[in-house]
Structure 1
Amino acid sequence: MEEPIRFPVEAPGGFRAVLKFTAFRNIWFAQLAAQLADKFLLFSLIILAFKISGGSTPVAITLLTYTVPAVLFAPPAGVIADRMNRKQIMMWSNFGRAAAVALIPLAALVPGLRNDFLHLLLITLVFSTVGQLFAPAEAAVIPTILPRSALITANSMALLTMVLTLVVGGALAPILSRIDLYTPYWVAAVLLIVAGALIFASDIPRLPPTTEPPVAESRSRFRRMLADIKEGL
C-alpha cells in the first residue's frame, strides 16, 4: 500500500520560531532590504521617466525595460542558481544592483546625461537583469537551512515581504523624490549594500563537493548548465 503524501505543516511558533535560525534571519532581512530597494526603484523610475520626458510613452517603455528581463532571464537564472555558489550569487546580485542604482544619480551629475532617457533605460535593464539571479538562489537555499516543517512559514514570510515592500516603496518613493529627485536611488543603493552584507555574514551551505579536479569540475558544471538552459528554453 502506498504511503500518503505528507505535506509540510507550518512551523510551531510561526514567524518568531523561523527567525531563530540565524542563516534564515539574515537572508530574510536581506530579502526585505533588497525588495524594498527594488520597489523604491520601480516607483522612482516612473517618476523620473515622466520628469525627463513629460509623457506616458517613455514611462511605459521604462516599465517594459524593467519587466522584460524577468521573462527572458528567469529560466537561465534558475539553472545558474542550481549549479553555482548560491551565497556568492545572492551577495553579488545585491552589490551589482547597488552599483547600477548608484549610476543613476551619478550620471545626473554629468550635464549631457542628466536628462538623457537612453542611459536610464540601459541602467534599468542592467539592474533588472542582475536582479533575476537573487530569487532562484534564495529559493534554492531556504530548504537547506530550515527544517521541512518550517518551509510553509518561510514561504509565507517571503510573500508578505513582497506585498509590504510594494506598499511601503510606493508610498515613500514620491515623498523622497520631493526632497530630491535622486534621493530614492541613494536609499535603494544603501539598502542593497546592507542586503549584500547580510548575505556575506550568513552561513549558507555550499554545493556538494565532487571528486573531479577543479578545472574539470568547472567545465562539467558549465556544460550541464548550458544543457539545462537549452532544455528549459
Structure 2
Amino acid sequence: MALKRTLSHRAFRRLWFGQLASRIGDSIHEIALIWVVYEVTGDPMLLSLTFAASFVPTVLLSLPAGVVVDRVNRKYVLVGSDLARAAAVLAIPLVGRGPLLIPTVLAVAVFTGVADAVDGPARGAFVPRLVPDEDLDGANSLVGMTRSLSQVLFAAGGVVVAAFGSFAAFYVDAGTFLVSALFVATISSEYGVPDREESGDADDVVDVMRDGASRLVDDVRDVLGFVRKRPLLRNVLVLSVVLQFAVAPVNVALPVYAPSLPIRDSLALGVLYSAFFTGMTAGMLGIGRFEDAIDESRGHVLVAGMLGFGVSLAAAVLVIPASLVAVAGVVGLFAVAGLGFAAATAPGRTLAQLLVPDERRGRYTAVASTLGSGAFVVGLLLTGPLVSLVSAQHTLIGVGAFVAVTGVVAAFQPLGRAHHEASTSDHGSSPGESTVDTD
C-alpha cells in the first residue's frame, strides 16, 4: 500500500506522528480558546479579534520566515517552534480568570501565530527531504489529513472542555506540542540542512538579519521570477490562492445556512462541518492510497478536484432540505465537496515541491502561504457583506460556480496536462523546465 510505503520512511514517520499529536491538541485548544473568551466576556467581537491575532502573523511573517528557513537547519526550527508554543499556551491557565486573562489570550494568540508562520515554511520544505519523490503524494496526503482530522475532532475538544474545564485543555495542548518536539528531535539533523544555491554564498541568519529588508525583497523577487518563468508552477500557485479564497466563505456562511436544515441548529452546523472535513480526510487518505495512479494523471486529478468541490458545494445548498432523505443528500454533497477540495490541494502541493529546488522551497512555501493567507482573509471579509446582501445560500452557490469555472479554465492550462514525467524532469537537470511547462 502506498501509505504504508510512505510511513516506512522512519524520519517522515516521526515527523508525522509529532504533527498528528500536536494537531489533536490544537483541536482541543481551539474549542477551549473560543469557550474561555466567550464565557468570560460574552463578546463575539473579541472572538474575531482573537482569531485575527493568531492569523495575521502568518500573512505578515511568512515571507521573512521563508528566507530564514532556507538558511538554517529546519529540524531545529520545528523543534523550537513546538517548544515555544508549548510554553506560550501554558500562560493562559497560569493567569487564570481575572483582568489579565483576555490580554494574555490575545498575546498568546499573537505569539503562537508567529511560531506558526515560521513552522509552516520549515515543515513544507522539510517533508521533501524525508521521502523520495515517488512518495511525496502519500506524505502530503498524510500531512493534509492531520489538518482535516483536527477539524473533525472539534467534538472531542468540546468533550474535554465540558468534562474538565477550559483551562485543562491548554495543559493537554502544551503536552501535545512537547510530544511533537520529541518526535522531531529524534530525526537526524542532516535532513534539516537546506541545499545551497551554487551561485550563492553561505549566508547565515545573522547575515540575513543584517541585510534586512533589501535582502528579503531580493529573495522574494528571486522566487517570483522563478515562478513567472514557469507556467506550470504559476498555475499551481494560482490554484492554491483560488482554493484558499473559495474555502473562506464556507467558514462564515455555513453557520448562517445551517438553521435551514430541519434539525437543531447547533447539531446541523456540527454535522455540516464534520461532513466537509470528513470528506477532506477521506480524500487525503485516498490520494495517499492511490498515489501511483495519481502520479500518472496529476493534472486531471487537480481539475476533477476543483470541479467536485465547486459543483458539490453549489448543489448542496440548492437541495431543499424538506425531509431527512434530503438532509442526508445535503450532508453527502458537503462530504463530496470536502473530498474534492482534498483532491485539488494535496497533489498540487506535491507538484510544487517537485518543481521547486530545495534551496528555494522555504521561500516558495512562504510566498505561497502569504498569498494564500491573504486570499483567505479577503474571502472572509467579502463573505459577511455578501451573506447580508444576497443570503448564505446564494453566496455558497456563487463560490461553487466560481471554483467550477476556474477548474474548467485550468483544464486548458499547463496544469491540466501535468504528470509525473513532466514534474520530475522539471525538478531534474533544469529545474522548472518541462515538456508541458510552456506557454
In the superposition, the TM-score normalised over structure 1's length comes to 0.83
Report sequence identity in percent.
26
- Number of the residue aligned with 2:151: 166
Trace 1:23-172 onto structure 2 (pairs within 5 A): 23-108=11-96, 112-113=99-100, 116-168=101-153, 170-172=154-156
Q: Which moved more, 1:181-190 or 1:201-210?
A: 201-210
Name the amino acid aligned to 1:77: A
| Matched-pair contact (CA < 8 Å) for 1:73–1:132 | yes
Secondary structure of the structure 2 residue equivalent to 1:73: helix
Query: For the Cα contact (< 8 Å) 1:79–1:225, is it kept in 2?
Result: no
- How far apart, in 2, do the equivalents of 1:157 and 1:99 lie? 27
Shift of 1:77: 1.8
2:194 is equivalent to residue 207 of structure 1: yes
| Residues 150-175 of structure 1: per-residue CA shift (max 9 Å, x gap) | 1111111111111001211x112221
List 4+ stretches of structure 1 deviating above 3 A: 207-210, 215-228
2:161 to 177, 180, 190: 177
Distance 1:67 1:216, change over 3 A: closer
Q: Which has the larger Rg? A: 2
Corresponding letter in the other structure for 1:108? G
Change (3 A) 1:51 1:219: closer
SS at match of 1:51: helix
Please say if residues 21 and 179 of structure 2, whose CA atoms lie closer than 8 Å, have aligned partners that are also in contact. yes
For structure 2, list consecutive stretches of 5 or more residues without a partner in the other structure.
Answer: 222-439
Bigger fraction of residues in helix: 2
CA shift, 1:220, in A, is: 4.3
1:40 Cα deviation (Å)?
A: 2.4
**Paired residue secondary structure (2:166):** coil
Q: Which amino acid aligns with 2:7?
A: L
Query: What is the rounded CA distance, in whole Å, between the counterparts of 1:186 and 1:33 in structure 2?
Result: 13
* Aligned AA (1:173): G
One-letter amino acid of the structure 2 residue matched with residue 137 of structure 1: A
Q: Label 1:190 to 1:123 Cα distance change in 2 as closer, same or farther (>3 A).
A: same
Shift of 1:209: 8.0
Q: CA deviation at 1:81?
A: 1.4
Give the gaps of 5 or more residues in structure 1.
Answer: 1-12
Do the aligned partners of 1:83 and 1:225 also contact (CA within 8 Å) in 2?
no
State how far apart, in whole Å, the 2-side matches of 1:48 and 1:122 are.
15
Ranked by relative contact order (alpha carbons within 8 Å, sequence separation 6 or more), the top structure is: 1
Give the aligned partner of residue 3 of structure 1. Answer: none
Q: Which amino acid aligns with 2:16?
A: W
Comparing 174-183 with 21-30, greater Cα deviation is found at: 174-183
- Alpha-carbon distance between aligned partners in 2 of 1:158 and 1:80, rounded to the nearest angstrom: 22
Alignment root-mean-square deviation, CA: 2.4
Match of 2:396 in 1: none
1:148-200: CA deviation from partner (whole Å, max 9, x where unpaired): 101111111111111001211x1122211122220110000000000001110
How many residues are matched?
213
1:112 deviates by 4.8
User: How far 1:60 moved relative to its partner?
Assistant: 1.2
Task: Sort the Cα spacing of 1:193 and 1:217 in 2 relative to 1 into closer, same or farther, 3 A.
Answer: closer
Say if 1:26 and 1:199, in contact at 8 Å, map to a contact too: yes
**2:174 alignment partner in structure 1:** 189
Q: For each residue in 1:55-106, what CA deviation from the matched residue of structure 2 results, as whole angstroms up to 9, or x when unmatched?
A: 2111111111121112111222222211111010000100000000111111
Give the Cα–Cα distance (whole angstroms) in 2 for the partners of residues 147 and 15 of structure 1. 13
Give the deviation of 1:228 after TM superposition.
4.7
Partners of 1:227 and 1:32 in 2: CA distance: 38
Q: Which residue of 1 aligns with 2:420?
A: none
- Aligned partner letter, 1:36: I
Q: Which residue of 2 aligns with 1:20?
A: 8
- Secondary structure in 2 aligned to 1:83? coil
Is the Cα–Cα contact under 8 Å of residues 34 and 47 in structure 2 kept in the other structure?
yes
